Chain A
Amino acid sequence: MGDLGSAVLAAIALIRDGDPAMLGILGLSLRVSLTALGIAALVGLPLGALLAVARFPGRHALVIGLNALMGLPPVVAGLLIYLLLSRSGPLGRFGLLFTPTAMVIAQAALIAPILAALSRGVLEALWEEYADQLRSFGAGPWRAVPTLLWDGRFALLTVLLAGFGRAAAEVGAVMVVGGNIEGFTRTMTTAIALETSKGDLPLALALGLVLMAIVLGVNMLAQALREAAGRGGA
């Protein structure tokens, strides 16, 4: 049997046996990525909506900047957060480096621009449809932001899933700021990198398959939620 075959078997065994070490790693991955997603959404979505409706000097540059930040390499985001959180850095006294909190901060910094840029695109299209209507109610851009976010919620779900996917898949940032400490900051992606380093390619790939299965599950859950809400609303 080849490496791919043994990886699939190993992945099935990992899920079937519910290996506690792996479950811990998986739980941390989900906790970090979902928390980062929540924080990034609180900043990114309102910012995206505001950029969709408001017109102000420098808006164009901001939009281009955010679009560019979607391509921010995770390892660079990680390095910036590392230098900020290091004991010798400006936020050193909080002792956050090599903790899950540091990983949340790094991932939130990584995906907030993605959420802002993508939601700006989605909501701008919506805003073009609604603008006259909302204006006729006398709603200014600031007042329109919550309405727009609510009306665009299903489209924004896809935006959130894109952000979650990016967070769950990245290894560069969490490796640098988390340190891949066993039982503390080891996530699925850093565990995969570690097993690859050890030359245990089937186990690395098996962990990758488990991670993909979880991401698939989250996406299916989101889709089911959307359909249920769609029926409820109709």
Chain B
Amino acid sequence: MVTRRVLLLSCLATPALAQDRFITLASTTSTEQSGLFGHILPLFTRATGIAVRVVALGTGQALDVGRRGDADVLLVHDRAAEDRFVEGGFGGPRRQVMYNDFVLIGPGADPAGIAMTRDVGEALRRIAGARAPFVSRGDRSGTHAAELRLWQEAGVDPVAGRGQWYREVGQGMGPALNTAAAQDAYLLSDRGTWLAFRNRQGLKVLVEGDARLLNQYGVIPVSPQRHPHVKAAEAASFVEWLIGPEGQAAIAGYRIGGEPLFFPNATDG
């Protein structure tokens, strides 16, 4: 009790101190650009006095930043790559945090006629069959990994259309959406970034709701054994908060136009 009061007083006396406690979070463009962090991180900082510095990258690059020890904790969405990261001893344990879903987006005119189907595999086969322009992230991100997995499950090798109808932009979700909007192309997007995206031109959600479109996010603290300088205690309180009731409620509370963007599911894991 006394210590708590002392802590409180010292916080009041030197508000700058609160800012001195920070962690670096390497995460994905989808969580940053959808506005989720802007909503939940101030709540975490208020609760714990720990500021969070977010570096938003593709999942592949975020994991690489973690591997190099340049971040304290990661929030990413590529289960296979996350497991490899943990198995490699770079961090862990991985905890699941929340999910949203991917949506297949395309021009309202829908030249490949995919809006009729709810089967994402069938939709991709129609796009490839019609050789309709498709924009791929091409950047080793979580969304890119999901897209490649979906093509594989659909039994189509899009690389055959590289440079023609299959266009790998090698950029984040936003730039890929901008490219698709300009070229009337199809693409796979996470729903959060799509909902927050402004420059839609004629793009629409055409296929959604297929179980294979689930987009699961996981949180992984970087290993202090591998990188002794990481802020393990602060990273642990971030993980605890995020998968605890407060963090989960904060995630559920983030909506755009009444629509929730992410669905907390830490307790399922």
Contact = CB atoms under 8 A, between A and B. Distances in A.
B175 A87 contact: no
Residue of B29, B55, B70 contacting most chain A CB atoms (<10 Å): B70
B265 interface: no
A180 B54 CA distance: 8
A87 B229 contact: yes
Contacts of A181: 24, 53-55
A199 B54 contact: no
B198 A198 contact: yes
A98 interface: yes
Interface string A153-183: 0000000000000000000000000011110
A201 B70 contact: no
Nearest to A88: B68
B24 A199 contact: no
A201 B33 CA distance: 14
The B interface, classified by DSSP as helix, strand, loop or mixed, is: mixed
B69 A88 contact: yes
A130 interface: no
Contacts of B69: 86-88, 92
Most buried by B among A86, A89, A93, A199: A199
Interface in A197-215: 197-201
Contact of B198 (A93, A97, A180, A199): A199
A79 interface: no
**Contact count band on A:** 20 to 34
Contacts of A197: 29, 33, 172-175, 178
Interface in B30-58: 33, 38, 53-56
B200 interface: yes
A110 B175 CA distance: 26
Interface residues of B, number: 26
A199 B53 contact: no
Interface string B139-177: 000000000000000000000000000000000111101
Interface string B165-203: 000000011110110010000000000000011111000
Contact of B33 (A88, A93, A98, A194): A194
A199 B70 contact: no
Nearest to B178: A199
B227 interface: yes
A95 interface: yes
Contacts of A142: none
B199 to A, nearest CB: 3
Contacts of B197: 198-199
A187 to B, nearest CB: 14
Given A181-B53, A194-B33, A201 B68 contact: no
B56 A95 contact: no
9 contacts: A88-B68, A180-B55, A181-B54, A185-B53, A196-B175, A197-B178, A198-B198, A199-B181, A199-B197
Given A179-B53, A199-B199, 18 more contacts: A88-B67, A88-B69, A95-B229, A98-B55, A179-B24, A179-B55, A180-B56, A184-B53, A185-B53, A197-B29, A197-B174, A197-B178, A198-B33, A199-B177, A199-B198, A199-B200, A200-B198, A201-B198
